[in-house]
């Protein structure tokens, strides 16, 4: 729930009825960032969802927000379902709408939020797709001389698998946060929470090679840039660029088209569980706020469950 409290039920405020509800979008996003402390990527996702809702809203019969009812919002959910969106995506859109309407109540624009009456769709628990350790090794070695910056690409792939970091955490990683001699890095995750992640020898060697041979060339155009991984203009690498790097090298080693940067994060977590890592330690390494998010990897690692069964079952 947002940090501010909604006006009391007996407060005397006038419900305002602006011509276009779009005027509330930017203040709402500023509220999410400044008062709720949400990350920029999260705020960007809410922006996209609310913009889509407002675009659909304008195509319907004109009405003030105060007259929006449950039937109207249910119609928007039906519209999303007709677009063949996944249940998780529809659920995320619904969360965005609920937050938007709650904000309007907090600001005194609406008397109550009808969006809170909507139920979220039931979600299936999908197990994340992971790569085998052998396939991961092939992927890490995939960057070659044909690439413009193969050492950078290899360093990115090895860092993602060694640390389990998210894409945003990798691209925003500054040089001074990586301690190669000590074998760790400080990354900033969701909610601006900082955590320590370990670097294995393979990742250390890959980053050292990149720092020695390629990064000095990239910094010639922009020597003030502090990000570890740079593009050819000497600026911080974008998330899309990292996505393309993973996709290109995954195709080289025959991986599925569904492989993404997050696949390396899932693979890191699953392989850690298979190696005997404690779930609490894995939670800290991944930067999960809730351990229930981490528990999904106990279901992915079938080999470990089988070993435990064979060890402890009387007829194992």
Positions marked catalytic: 166, 190, 262, 265, 288, 297
Between the alpha carbon of residue 205 and those of residues 45, 140, 181, 184, 216, the distances in Å are 36, 12, 10, 13, 17
Task: For strands 194-198 and 178-179, give the pairing.
Answer: unpaired
92: part of which helix (H) or strand (E)?
Answer: helix 87-106
Report DSSP letters for 20-48, one per residue.
Answer: -GGGGHHHHHHHHHHTS---HHHHHHHHH
Give first-to-last CA distance, the chain, whole Å: 48
- Give the separation between CA 160 and CA 167, rounded to whole angstroms: 8
Helical (H) or strand (E) element with 280: helix 279-286
CA-derived radius of gyration, the chain: 24
User: Could you give the dihedral angle defined by the CA atoms of residues 72, 74, 80 and 84, in that order, rounded to the nearest 10 degrees?
Assistant: -140
* Angle at alpha carbon of residue 248, lines to 204 and 199, rounded to 5°: 15
């Amino acid at each position: 729930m947002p940090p501010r409290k909604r006006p009391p039920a007996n407060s005397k405020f006038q419900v305002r009825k602006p011509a276009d509800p779009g005027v509330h979008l930017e203040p709402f996003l500023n509220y999410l960032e400044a008062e709720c402390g949400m990350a920029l990527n999260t705020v960007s996702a809410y922006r996209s969802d609310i913009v889509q809702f407002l675009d659909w809203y304008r195509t319907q019969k004109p009405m003030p927000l105060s007259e929006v009812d449950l039937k109207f919002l249910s119609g928007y959910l039906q519209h999303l379902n007709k677009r063949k969106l996944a249940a998780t995506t529809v659920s995320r859109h619904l969360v965005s709408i609920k937050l938007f309407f709650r904000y309007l109540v907090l600001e005194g624009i609406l008397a109550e939020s009808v969006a809170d009456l909507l139920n979220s769709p039931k979600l299936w628990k999908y197990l994340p797709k992971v790569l085998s350790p052998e396939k991961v090794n092939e992927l890490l070695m995939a960057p070659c001389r044909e690439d413009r910056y193969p050492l950078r690409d290899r360093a990115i792939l090895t860092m993602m698998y060694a640390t389990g970091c998210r894409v945003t955490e990798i691209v925003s990683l500054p040089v001074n946060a990586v301690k190669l001699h000590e074998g760790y890095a400080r990354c900033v995750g969701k909610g601006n929470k900082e955590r320590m992640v370990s670097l294995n020898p393979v990742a250390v060697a890959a980053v050292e090679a990149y720092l020695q041979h390629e990064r000095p060339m990239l910094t010639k155009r922009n020597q003030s840039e502090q990000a570890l991984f740079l593009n050819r203009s000497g600026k911080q690498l974008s998330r899309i660029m990292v996505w393309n790097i993973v996709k290109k090298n995954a195709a080289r080693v025959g991986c599925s088209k569904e492989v993404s940067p997050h696949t390396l994060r899932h693979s890191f977590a699953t392989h850690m569980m298979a190696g005997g890592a404690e779930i609490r330690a894995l939670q800290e390494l991944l930067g999960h706020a809730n351990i229930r998010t981490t528990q999904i990897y106990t279901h992915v690692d079938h080999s470990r469950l089988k070993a435990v069964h064979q060890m402890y079952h009387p007829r194992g």
